[in-house]
Amino acid sequence: MRVPLFRLQCGVNSYDWGKVGNDSAAAKYAATTAAPDFSIDSEKPYAELWMGTHPSLPSKDLETQRTLLDLVQDNQALMSTEVTERYGGKLPFLFKVLSIRKALSIQAHPNKKLAEKLHARDSQNYPDDNHKPEMTIAITPFEGLCGFRPLAEIAHFLNAVAPLRQLVGEDAASQFESTIKGSEDSDDPAVTQKNKEALRAAFTSLMQSSPEGIEAATKDLIAAAQDSPDSFATSASTPGTNPSNPAELAAIITRLNGQFPNDIGLFVFFFLNFVTLSPGEAMFLKADDIHAYISGDIIECMASSDNVVRAGFTPKFKDVSTLTDMLTYSYAPIEEQKLEPTDYPYAVLNVPAYSSGSSSLLYDPPIEEFSVVKTELKRVGAKATFDGLAGPSIVICTGGTGKITVGHKTEEVKEGYVYFVGATAECIIESTDEGDFTTFKAFCDLTGKEDMVNGH
Ligand SMILES: [Zn+2]
């Protein structure tokens, strides 16, 4: 029988927002194991490398050229019988590398129930009946929007940014302000519910702005950002809530307008948390969480689904009423959107690994479909031995040189190489060169997760 370690050939797609040519990590990684007809075009954007069994861009076993889907359906032991049965013979997760040059659409992913409904109603725009919780780990500095800002910040911008108030409308804006006043930080469920309803009303009112209204408001917004960046979005009457760096905010707004002129996204910005992640930092998006990615290279892992409800920063199909209906309207500071990694207990480091400060860190979101381990080996001979898991794994290298061993099979690993590791197989990753050797391993192991509820 074949050792369950397969090098994968993974496709990269060319959405307009991707980084161009060799700037794109997704393209560079794809090129290391590319099909013979692929070469990087220096003019073309490359957005997403896909690692998994999703039919839109399925990964292949390099050696046999069979799809990974075909292999795992042919031999259920590769994913374990339990995972195979639970996910209908498909990999439970889709693992990706995204290289983002300009903003991706403002979006949310439906929960399971809504996904089934949308798919039944409109299978062209909603190709899957599955939910899509997703996790993002930065591999270069990342910027994005994620979740609603704390209410006091939104109230500040409604007061300090006249074109925003104009689009939301005076009635909705003052209704929002009077509802939340004094209860911005309350955690009484009844009060929070009332605040969320006020937020929903103000946000929905903004999203219903006419194209002419948006165009006029954009003109005023950009004039303010360019004419007086140092006082942009500030108010003399509420100095306590002024943005900490108005000029930086003005620059981001101007940049976004350059990418998507006269787009409602410029104003949605003031309702959402602006998040920056340093390499290694992560955030997790539950079903129905609003978000938009703005720039950077990231590792992304999600439940295997391609359902997106979009409402701005995109030429694609927008479904504003579905989006404004589905959102949870939870509001929280940025820190609460981030996901802290913890030490991964099921990888054993050898002495050279320990003494060089190497690490295996676990990013474990509260869902059953996937977790990710980041392993950084910092010296030649540093080695991490991973226990066999009760489910499948996919490993990608984002830097350095080393090797991977399962049973009697050892393969070389370089930046961009991707491997599939079957269930129950012990797997050893070792650095063979100076410099950091970095891998990300996504996996599904249902042990102890039998009772976990997906999404909500
Ligand atoms: Zn998303």
Q: Helix (H) and strand (E) counts for the chain?
A: 13, 26
Q: Which residues pair with 387 in a beta bridge?
A: none
What's the gap between Cα 305 and its chain centre? 13
User: How close is the Cα of 105 to the center of ligand 1, in Å?
Assistant: 9
Q: 101, 165, 310, 379: which one is catalytic?
A: 310
**Residue-by-residue DSSP string for 249-288:** HHHHHHHHHHHSTT-THHHHGGGEEEEEE-TT-EEEE-TT
Distance CA 154, CA 222 (A): 19
Sheet strands side by side (includes 418-421)? 60-61, 5-9, 418-421, 393-399, 437-443, 371-377, 359-363, 342-343
CB contact at 8 A, 169 and 213: no
- What pLDDT score was predicted for residue 126? 78
CB contact at 8 A, 47 and 293: no
- Six token digits for residue 58: 């399925």
Distance CA 252, CA 391 (A): 42
User: How close is the Cα of 346 to the center of ligand 1, in Å?
Assistant: 30
Digit-coded pLDDT (tens) for 147-164: 999 999 999 999 999 999
User: How close is the Cα of 289 to the center of ligand 1, in Å?
Assistant: 9
Could you tell me which of 131, 85, 219 has the C-alpha nearest to residue 454? 131
User: How close is the Cα of 107 to the center of ligand 1, in Å?
Assistant: 6
- What pLDDT score was predicted for residue 450? 56
**Chain position carrying tokens 């009844």:** 190
Distance CA 392, CA 78 (A): 7
User: How close is the Cα of 277 to the center of ligand 1, in Å?
Assistant: 16
- Residues (pLDDT < 70) of the chain are 305-306, 449-456
Cβ-in-10-Å burial (0-12, 13-18, 19+) of 53 comes to buried
- What pLDDT score was predicted for residue 319? 85
How many other β-carbons are positioned within 10 Å of the β-carbon of residue 293? 24
- What pLDDT score was predicted for residue 453? 44
- Six token digits for residue 234: 């500030």
Length reported for the chain: 456
Angle, helices 170-180/151-160, rounded to nearest 10 degrees: 140
- Give, in order, the Cα–Cα distances in Å from 177 to each of 149, 151, 163, 172, 270: 14, 9, 17, 9, 15
The torsion angles phi and psi of 297, rounded to 5 degrees, stand at: -110, 135
Hey, what's the torsion of the CAs at 369, 375, 381, 386, to 10 degrees? Answer: -30
Active site residue 101: no
User: How close is the Cα of 307 to the center of ligand 1, in Å?
Assistant: 9
- What pLDDT score was predicted for residue 455? 37
Q: Which amino acid is at 100?
A: I
User: How close is the Cα of 378 to the center of ligand 1, in Å?
Assistant: 32
Hey, what's the torsion of the CAs at 330, 333, 334, 340, to 10 degrees? Answer: -90
Which is it for the CA torsion 295, 14, 218, 332, positive or negative?
A: negative
User: How close is the Cα of 173 to the center of ligand 1, in Å?
Assistant: 28
User: How close is the Cα of 415 to the center of ligand 1, in Å?
Assistant: 25
User: How close is the Cα of 205 to the center of ligand 1, in Å?
Assistant: 23
